[in-house]
Amino acid sequence: MGDLKLTTVEEMEAATARLLETGAKVGADAWQLRVKNQTPHCKFGEQGVCCRICAMGPCRITPKAPRGICGCDVHGIVGRNYLKFTAGGAATHSDHGREICHTLYAAQPDGAYKVKDPEKLIRIAKEWGVETEGKDIYDLAHEMAETALMEYGKPFGVQRWLKRAPEHTQKLWHDAEIEPRAIDREVATSLHMTHMGCSSKPEALVRQSLRAGLADGWGGSMCGTEFSDVLFGTPKPIDTEANLGVMNADNVNIVVHGHDPSLSEMVCEYADDPEMIAYAKSMGAKGITVSGVCCTSNEVAMRRGIPMAGNFLQQENVVLTGACEAIVVDVQCIFPALGPLSKCFHTKFITTSPIAQMPDSDYIRFDVGTAAEKAKQIVKIACENFKNRKPDLVYIPDMKQKATVGYSLEALVKTLDGVTNSQVDVTGTTKPLIECITSGVIRGAVAMVGCNNPKIRPDYAHIELMKKLIANDIVVVASGCSAQAAAKAGLMDKAAKDLCGAGLKRVCELADIPPVLHMGSCVDISRMMVLVAELAKDSGLNISQLPVVGCAPEWMSEKAVSIGNYVVATGIDTFLGVDPYVAGSSEMGQWLTEGVRDWVEAAYTVETDIEKLVDKMIDRIEEKRTALGI
Ligand code: CUV
Ligand code: SF4
């Protein structure tokens, strides 16, 4: 194992500065400039005290005007805003999950989409009590897809996946009346509650925020993860690379960006096709390089080892390299800035989803029926665009790190089994991990998730927190842009074991894993929920007793708030580095950081000082250990 030299945030910033020079040359702006134009932000908005849900407003709460025209106080306004924010996130993740179910419904043995993990499909079918015996696997896939789609709108009952939680957790949810019913219903109920003249009581708004979050994490997101695995394969450890240096100046560079793997899987498939590679060569390139940005990148990295060009706030950088022939996007977290930016270069900005349409893009509508054809068309366009590159604008920072990714729950259980060499059955258990934690070899675990946000020095919080955690023998599971920050820095290189405390280092060596484990995209935080559920069941503890916390130090999206709500509701203390626009209401603050603990045995901590944030997490983990007497 070679010596590891981490890529520092300073180095990444220097590379960005160099790319911004190219931008200045061609008259492109970038988020760094737009942040300046938007600063200072509106104080009312920041505190969550502006209400514009009816046309008597907008009403802004100040000491002199403590109530809106309808009489709503600041707590009601902040609370409604918080619930609306959550509903937006829950809707988004869940709709992504729904798209995956539709893709599964269209899977055919000779079609573009196939069932790649029939075993997992059968396992879920049995879990759901669907008859599998003697059934054709595609018939079963279609039946399961339809059953899953029903979860979105069924008139009665609660989410099927809830049964995966320990009984204690299920009881807490039931008693707190936060078991999510149909997914769409929780989103609609949230929007109903936040309509003018409905709920203005923080307790009720927070309760529904947790329920809508659970509809996401234990509903729509779980559908997204589980059925993506069925369609595209359950991730296994695989080597890849990360950071802008994965782009190749000699090749046609296609960058996939967004979230839904249905598109990126097909693009990767055709970029690998000998016919397409020959076509790229006929255009003067040496080959085709597909790399990714944001969660769609995580999806294809986990399953195919496709390299990760960057995370959220690096999306403009891929175009600024001047070497991007096409940036192909599906849904979510895509900067509308990519339209005008791509016009400053030869880059084709290709939008594909009716859900994410943007000016200055080429819209190639992608659907399951024509997926193969459209993917091929996209790859061809990129190849043909190679000749339009302006060589004097090309600069790809020489910056990349090795990463081992692909730690689905299934893979993790299998890998960690090697640690104790205990004889466990084929399906495996989390007992080896529990042994490591109880013995103190590993002190605990942190789920690091979420985006970048210019309010926090991008990637810095993710990377610094992770370094400190692993040095303290705390294993990190990561997803989303947090995982990409880790990979870009080098923390997913197995050699990063040398940055760990002695205990975690030993575990990394025995299991041959990096200390920061990539569990996937943001919908894959559902994998983390199943992991803690299994840990609780296998240890006989409640989830809230486990020395495990969640953290989103640089989050920015509505989805992240929905995630935070379901992580807390699952019994995991969650630490945020950015305030979710609730600072304006002491009552909302009280509910989120303390009140919810009575219902779900966990709560939020908001701490914008990164040093303090990490210490608070470590303290919480040690408190939990002490309470267990371990
Ligand atoms: Ni879905 S939600 S910026 S890509 S993690 Fe990345 Fe992850 Fe946030 Fe978006
Ligand atoms: Fe103002 Fe009430 Fe209307 Fe909100 S709902 S804009 S507080 S009048």
Q: What is the CATH number of the domain that holds 458?
A: 3.40.50.2030
Q: Decide which of 185, 201, 232 is a domain's last residue.
A: 232
Closest ligand by atom to 299 CA: 1
Rounded to the nearest angstrom, the distance between the alpha carbon of 237 and the centre of ligand 1 is 22
Shortest-distance Cα residue to atom 7 of ligand 1:
480
ipTM: 0.95
43 lines ligand 2 (CB under 6 A): no
Q: What is the pLDDT of residue 3?
A: 77
> Tens digit of pLDDT for each residue in 233-274?
999 999 999 999 999 999 999 999 999 999 999 999 999 999
Which tokens go with 111? Answer: 């079609």
62 in a structural domain:
no
| Distance, CA of 183 to CA of 95 (rounded, Å) | 9
Which atom of ligand 2 lies closest to the CA of 69? 8
27 in a structural domain:
no
Rounded to the nearest angstrom, the distance between the alpha carbon of 586 and the centre of ligand 2 is 20
Q: What is the DSSP string of 440-481?
A: TSS-EEEEE-----TTS-TTHHHHHHHHHHHHTTEEEEEEHH
**Does 564 score more than 50 pLDDT?**
yes
> Tens digit of pLDDT for each residue in 529-540?
999 999 999 999
Which atom of ligand 2 lies closest to the CA of 67? 7
**Cα three-residue angle 371-372-374, rounded to 5 degrees:** 65
Q: What phi, psi does 298 have (nearest 5°)?
A: -60, -40
Q: Is 596 helix (H, G, I), strand (E, B) or coil?
A: coil
443 lines ligand 1 (CB under 6 A): no
Which atom of ligand 1 lies closest to the CA of 523? 1
Are 223 and 268 found together in one domain? no
Are 448 and 566 found together in one domain? yes
Mean per-residue pLDDT of the chain: 96
196 lines ligand 2 (CB under 6 A): yes
Which atom of ligand 1 lies closest to the CA of 298? 7
Report helix, strand and coil shares of the chain as percent, to nearest 5. 55, 10, 35
Are 445 and 355 found together in one domain? no
Residue 165 CB contacts under 8 Å (≥ 6 apart), including other chains: 173, 218, 529, 533, 543, 570
| Long-range contacts of the stretch 351-357 (C-beta < 8 A, 24+) | 352/263, 352/328, 352/378, 353/258, 353/260, 353/263, 353/329, 355/95, 355/331, 356/258, 356/329, 356/330, 356/331, 356/332
Range 19-36 average pLDDT: 97
Instruction: Give the β-pairing of 238-242 and 401-405.
Output: antiparallel
Rounded to the nearest angstrom, the distance between the alpha carbon of 46 and the centre of ligand 1 is 21
Are 413 and 445 found together in one domain? yes
57 lines ligand 2 (CB under 6 A): yes
Q: Is 371 helix (H, G, I), strand (E, B) or coil?
A: helix
Q: Is 548 helix (H, G, I), strand (E, B) or coil?
A: strand
Which atom of ligand 1 lies closest to the CA of 311? 6
| Distance, CA of 529 to CA of 26 (rounded, Å) | 46
The domain of 126 spans 67-232
34 in a structural domain:
no
333 lines ligand 1 (CB under 6 A): yes
| Distance, CA of 110 to CA of 117 (rounded, Å) | 16
Shortest-distance Cα residue to atom 3 of ligand 1:
451
Which tokens go with 194? Answer: 């936040």
> Tens digit of pLDDT for each residue in 579-617?
999 999 999 999 999 999 999 999 999 999 999 999 999
Q: What is the DSSP string of 481-531?
A: HHHHHHHHHTTTSGGGGGGS-HHHHHHHHHHT--SEEEEESSTTHHHHHHH
**Does 2 score more than 60 pLDDT?**
no
Are 371 and 436 found together in one domain? no
